Amino acid sequence: MESALTARDRVGVQDFVLLENHTSEVAFIENLRKRFKENLIYTYIGSVLVSMNPYKELEIYTKQHMERYRGVNFYEVSPHIYAVADNAYRSMRTERRDQCILISGESGAGKTEASKKVLQYYAVTCPASEHVQTVKDRLLQSNPVLEAFGNAKTLRNDNSSRFGKYMDIQFDFKGAPVGGHIINYLLEKSRVVHQSHGERNFHIFYQLIEGGEDDLLRRLGLEKNAQQYQYLVKGNCPKVSSINDRNDWKIMRKALSIIGFTDDELLNIIASVLHLGNVQYGGEDSGSAYITTETQIKYLARLLGVDGTVLKEALTHKKIIAKGEELMSPLNQEQAASARDALSKAIYGRTFTWLVNKINDSLAFKNASVIGLLDIYGFEVFQNNSFEQFCINYCNEKLQQLFIELTLKSEQEEYEAEGITWEPVQYFNNKIICDLVEEKFKGIISILDEECLRPGDASDITFLEKLEDTVGGHAHFLTHKLADGKTRKVMGREEFRLIHYAGEVNYNVNGQLLNGGQRLKIKKPKESASLNKSGHLCPQIFSQAEPTQFKNSLAKLMEILMSKEPSYVRCIKPNDAKQAGRFDEVLIRHQVKYLGLMENLRVRRAGFAYRRRYETFLQRYKSLCPDTWPNWDGRLVDGVSTLVKYLGYKPEEYKLGRTKIFIRFPKTLFATEDALEVRKHSLGMSYSQKTKYRKMRQSAVKIQAWWRGILARREAKRRREAANTIRRFVKGFIYRHQPRCPENEYFLDYVRYSFLMKLHRSLPKTVLDKSWPTPPPALIEASEQLRKLCMQNMVWKYCKNINSEWKHQVSHYILFYFILFCFLFCVLLGISVSSLSDGMFVLHVACEDNKQKGDVVLQSEHVIETLTKVAICADKMNSININQGRSVVDTKLFFFKIKLKFQGRLL
């Protein structure tokens, strides 16, 4: 608050409680606009943090920022998510009471990022050990796993959480995070089978298709093409520029291994959902459906571990229980497709729950203090609002009720503790709407359950008619049938309207029975496709009436939140285009209304805008009164009383409690703050301030001198080392012809290194290349050895690379020359080879008379191989004269190597 007062003129106020016109929605939004334009995305409403999504990276989440907020009073620094996290942590440590941080807002408002920042803050600032570090890693790595299986690309957000999450972070007595527990709510299972245009299914499907290894995809029966799967083509958005599915797959698999997943059972289930989507039906003349894609059934039976016949029957028939007798009734094509989709949603929903339970098992810890994190959908209104949106808005209705009750409760408790009289605040009590939804026997959820479970042909329309009969007279309920003529024009015949605390919402009943209470059932001992708590396949798939389940889980969530000390983060998205710097006032006004921010501000301002403990208030403003400056020696309450009387506070402007002063109007506080700013200038020239200034100046001079000395010593050391290096090099050059000694070892090592690097860059490329760099004296012998090894290596590589076809040709040539010289064996005197690369060679033979033609001149494309064979056969290894600069030793060695290579392979 104090920092907010200092900066109020530049960027509005950092706490909406200090808005002079606190009842004006226009003033509220204008304050948001001012701060947003300055990249100040956080603002308080008392202890509530309002967060605007900047849609860009801001340098406000570094480790230095974390240290700045660590252990600091909530109002001493500017608003930040770290301040909320640190305040909850310190309250847990000092008051020994569990805390919770409730994060809410629309899709794309930054809820998931806010929860990540809280987790990162605790991971960095809390005490750590080897075990604690493992827990921290698992807590952080749970995010990419849950995002892969629970997030999706929507029109509003490329990484939108399609489920609600409550996470308990568990701390030991030292304040170190030692465990955690996650509860998931409202997974948007309808996304598994259908996506709006421009949206995608859950990330995991695309990650598996794009990033999965070939062997894995082959085992799962999948192809690397998302367009091949019916559940991935509905939104016509297989790829997104801002999402790297292949890289996210690697991150997700690594996170799974850190958490403790070791098998691919999870991926079997995910693949089975894709195969289910490709199950197609045909229709018989009788109208009964039958499956036309047997391949998919085979894959499903293997991946899920079920009997294919049982699975086909479950996908084409429904079970009817009449008078205790079970009857199987065939489904038509439309009903069968609905059953298939319902099974897919049930499998994915239970898989997600199983995944969360596995994560919980890896984080389990008992007897710990807790800070809870609730990341859940905000109140939203779409053009078509389904059963799932009905549940989301109902959840927010309950949270708003809790929010107002806890806010009022905390205000009332503080006033009672301080002995301050406070008149009750009038506010909209949405209990009437909550009762309309959840009341036993008469609420919407009870009616939906009853319609789902009753025998007969229940449908979405019969459910709507039942609503009209039961709650048709309720002030917050309306249908097309019950509406007046004007309202009927904007309402469909299959819709009902609820008037929520945040506005009117029309819900479409199409799919309510399917989503709310599915009657799909596969039941056969030891064969199934569902997951139980232990992670194994259990004997049945049965999606019970979900509204009651959700109502019960929501009631448990309310109990959890009521048992903890709450902190609130309200997230707002500035525009639907995800553009940085764009401020859509109409959109923001809707969110301010849906989040109940004006209601919260009104409750907070119903009493007093500012309250501070006496010691804090006196310490800040004591310089404004001669009687309290520089120190007050009496009771704190008397010092504050003396100070406010001197400042001219009127009785209606403030109240003094037992430990705090309460100031009703912001203008009173602003006037006091302005007087403090003026006083600071006069205090700056006082003797104490001059003394302090001199001390600070002397300290600064000492620090500067010390730092200059460090820089000078560093530079001197660098120059000294450079000079020593040059001296060693010059001295080594002088002693370069002497035996190795301390004076020349640096130079000799450098020369050797240079020779070896030069040799590395200019090695001969062929056997005929005789170039070789001149070695230094110390490396002459070693250089000669290297040269020979290089030549041998090139010969070996040359011979090794002869392919089978070339060998076949050579064998024919050598066969010819072998026959030719069989009769010349005794008369062969020697062989000469041309120095050119023309393949010419001469066979020198003995001539007994003049009738003989003499030496034979021949040509061969493979002269080396030919002569080698001839020399071996004639035992004339020393009779070959190759006039190309090769020494006798090299020639013998060369033919010896060739002999070894070709021995026994040539005819």
Positions marked active-site: 107-108, 112, 157, 160-161, 378, 380
Q: How far is 54 from 61, CA to CA, in rounded Å?
A: 13
What is the rounded CA–CA span in Å between residue 798 and residue 801? Answer: 5
Strands across the sheet containing 828-833? 856-859, 840-845, 828-833, 880-882
Chain centroid to Cα 406, Å, comes to 33
110 carries a ligand binding annotation: yes
Per DSSP bridges, beta strands 840-845 and 828-833 are antiparallel
Q: What is the DSSP letter of 429?
A: -
Evaluate whether 459 touches 466 at the Cβ level (below 8 Å).
no
Taking a C-beta distance cutoff of 8 angstroms, is the pair 289, 330 a contact? Answer: yes
Nearest to 511 by CA among 334, 356, 328: 334
Backbone angles phi, psi at 810, to 5 degrees: -60, -40
Report d(CA 415, CA 406) in Å as an integer. Answer: 14
Parallel, antiparallel or unpaired: strands 565-572 and 48-52: parallel
Angstrom CA distances, 346 to 187, 188, 193, 313, 448, stand at 11, 11, 11, 17, 19
239 annotated ligand binder: no
The verdict on whether residue 107 carries a ligand-binding annotation is yes
Find the helix packing angle between 546-562 and 387-418, rounded to 10°. 20
The residues, any chain, with a CB within 8 Å of residue 258's CB and separated by 6 or more, are: 137, 138, 141
CB under 8 Å to 872, separation ≥6 — which residues? 899, 903
Helix (H) or strand (E) holding 842: strand 840-845
β-strand partners of 330 = 317
Length of the chain: 907
The secondary structure of 133-193 as a DSSP string is: HHHHHHHHHHHHHHHHHHEE--SS-TTEE-SEEEEEEEE-TTS-EEEEEEEEE---GGGGT
Name the residue among 433, 370, 424 with its Cα closest to residue 399: 433
| Residue 111 among known ligand-binding residues | yes
Residue 141 structure tokens? 């790595």
| Element spanning 833, H or E | strand 828-833
Pair type for strands 317-322 and 325-330: antiparallel
The upper half-sphere exposure of residue 331, i.e. CA atoms within 13 Å in the direction of its Cβ, equals 23
Q: Is 47 annotated as a binding residue?
A: no
What DSSP line would sit under 305-355, residue for residue?
T--HHHHHHHHHEEEEEETTEEEEEE--HHHHHHHHHHHHHHHHHHHHHHH
Helix (H), strand (E) counts: the chain: 31, 27
As a three-state string, the secondary structure of 264-288 is CHHHHHHHHHHHHHCCCEEECCCCC
Whether 905 and 868 have beta carbons less than 8 Å apart is answered as no
C-beta atoms surrounding 810 within 10 Å: 20
Nearest 5°: phi and psi at 119?
Answer: -60, -40
| 105 marked ligand binding residue | yes
Binding site members? 105-112
Q: Give the annotated binding-site residues for ATP.
A: 105-112
